[in-house]
Amino acid sequence: MFFFGDRKFVEEICVKAIKEEAILECKHTDAETGVACFYLEGDDMEAHRKILSFFINNGLIRKTKTGKLYNIGFKFDDQTRAGEYGGDFKAELKLDRFVDLNTGEFII
């Protein structure tokens, strides 16, 4: 998921992700601010690598004041269907499973 504050920007990002074949399917809310979802199979490590490279290369993962990537979590459809939102959401899979948060380099 990518939370956005500029609909035009997120529309461009979704189109770019598809055109560059970083992901096969994505969508975003139809509002000026909201969330964009990028869909892939949870166990497809190559697909994770492709979309995460796209996110990193396009500055879509925020950084801390020290330049470290935030350890963002990934949400599975089952978690959404179970109503896990906000404080109830506990990510089963996080960025540090794939990337060194300090360097942005892939570890898998």
In a domain, 48, yes or no: yes
Model confidence over 68-97: pLDDT tens digits? 999 998 887 787 788 778 777 888 889 999
Cβ atoms < 10 Å from Cβ of 16: 12
The beta strands (E) that lie in the chain are given as 2-4, 25-28, 34-39, 73-74, 93-94
In a domain, 106, yes or no: no
Number of structural domains the chain divides into: 1
In a domain, 103, yes or no: no
| pLDDT band at 102; cut points 50, 70, 90 | very high
In a domain, 107, yes or no: no
| Interatomic CA distance for residues 92 and 43, integer angstroms | 12
In a domain, 7, yes or no: yes
Q: Average of pLDDT values for 96-100?
A: 95
Judged against a pLDDT cut of 90, whether residue 54 lies above it is answered with yes
Model confidence over 1-30: pLDDT tens digits? 888 999 999 999 999 999 999 999 999 999
- Domain holding 73, by residue range, is 2-97
pLDDT at res. 81:
80
| Interatomic CA distance for residues 33 and 35, integer angstroms | 7
Bridge partners of 34, per DSSP, are 4
In a domain, 42, yes or no: yes
pLDDT at res. 47:
92
- With beta carbons less than 8 A apart as the criterion, state whether 50 and 23 touch: yes
pLDDT at res. 42:
81
